[in-house]
């Protein structure tokens, strides 16, 4: 069984996907982490994440250790991830790993193109959204809790810029699959979103 969970940054996809995977006994893959690790590798080598040659080489040589790094969620890695994610050769290099991950035992995967490109025949597709204000507020609280001295306005600008880039790129843009269930979490906390999503999934699977 494949459950595809797509949507914009900070919509709550990761938390939701992880909990759904645990509830259904399926492996979980955060595909954004792949793009973050590629971006981080390019930055470490002193390269430009917008350079297709450097980004493709980083994507083709990604290791498990790259995905286990603790610095994949900071602002620099987020920006670099969005930049490398717009390069078709990077997406091509990461495609096989994602498909293989799901094909072995089934999986819950979250990202931007899981229901459109990676698993167009997924059993369940959720497109998780929330208003920009709600998403920025959640990400701001998360960063502050980690001791990051960011402002709400900066977080909001950063999310808006990334969503814009992710939605407008030519390669696998952020878009809901035609057969995705639209799931707006603006007025839900994480527990309510999980309960509702699980009910939707169970209803769809009969």
The reply to whether 31 sits near ligand DC by the rule CB under 6 A is yes
Burial class (CB in 10 A: 0-12, 13-18, 19+), 184: middle
Tokens 């797509």, located at residue: 6
Quote the least distance from Cβ 3 to ligand DC, whole Å. Answer: 14
Site for ligand DC in 94-123 (CB under 6 A): 111-113
* Residue 50 neighbours by CB under 8 Å, 6+ apart: 83, 87
Task: Pick the closer one to ligand DC by CB: 34 or 197.
Answer: 34
Residue 185 CB: number of other CB atoms within 10 A?
25
Tokens 């790259």, located at residue: 66
| Six token digits for residue 31 | 């595909």
Judged by CB under 6 A, the residue of 29, 43, 55, 85 near ligand DC is 85
The reply to whether 158 sits near ligand DC by the rule CB under 6 A is no
- Under 8 Å between Cβ of 188 and 33: no
| DSSP at 182 | E
The reply to whether 66 sits near ligand DC by the rule CB under 6 A is no
Judged by CB under 6 A, the residue of 16, 17, 28, 35 near ligand DC is 35
Which one of the spans 61-69, 79-87, 180-188, 189-197 is the region binding ligand DC (CB under 6 A)? Answer: 79-87
Give me the residues that bind ligand DC (CB under 6 A), please.
9, 31-32, 35-36, 81-82, 85, 111-113, 162, 166
């Amino acid at each position: 069984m494949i459950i595809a969970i797509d949507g914009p940054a900070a919509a709550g996809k990761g938390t939701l996907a992880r909990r759904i995977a645990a509830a259904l006994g399926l492996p979980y893959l955060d595909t954004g982490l792949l793009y973050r690790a590629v971006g981080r590798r390019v930055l470490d080598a002193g390269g430009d994440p917008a350079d297709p040659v450097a980004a493709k080489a980083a994507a083709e040589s990604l290791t498990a250790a790259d995905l286990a790094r603790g610095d994949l969620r900071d602002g620099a890695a987020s920006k670099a991830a969005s930049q490398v994610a717009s390069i078709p050769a990077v997406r091509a290099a990461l495609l096989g790993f994602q498909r293989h991950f799901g094909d072995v035992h089934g999986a819950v995967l979250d990202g931007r193109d899981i229901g459109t490109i990676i698993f167009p025949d997924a059993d369940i597709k959720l497109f998780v959204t929330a208003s920009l204000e709600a998403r920025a507020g959640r990400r701001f609280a998360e960063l502050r809790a980690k001791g990051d001295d960011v402002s709400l306005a900066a977080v909001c600008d950063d999310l808006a810029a990334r969503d814009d880039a992710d939605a407008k790129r030519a390669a696998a843009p952020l878009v809901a699959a035609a057969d995705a269930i639209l799931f707006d979490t603006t007025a839900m906390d994480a527990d309510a979103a999980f309960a509702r999503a699980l009910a939707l999934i169970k209803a769809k699977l009969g």
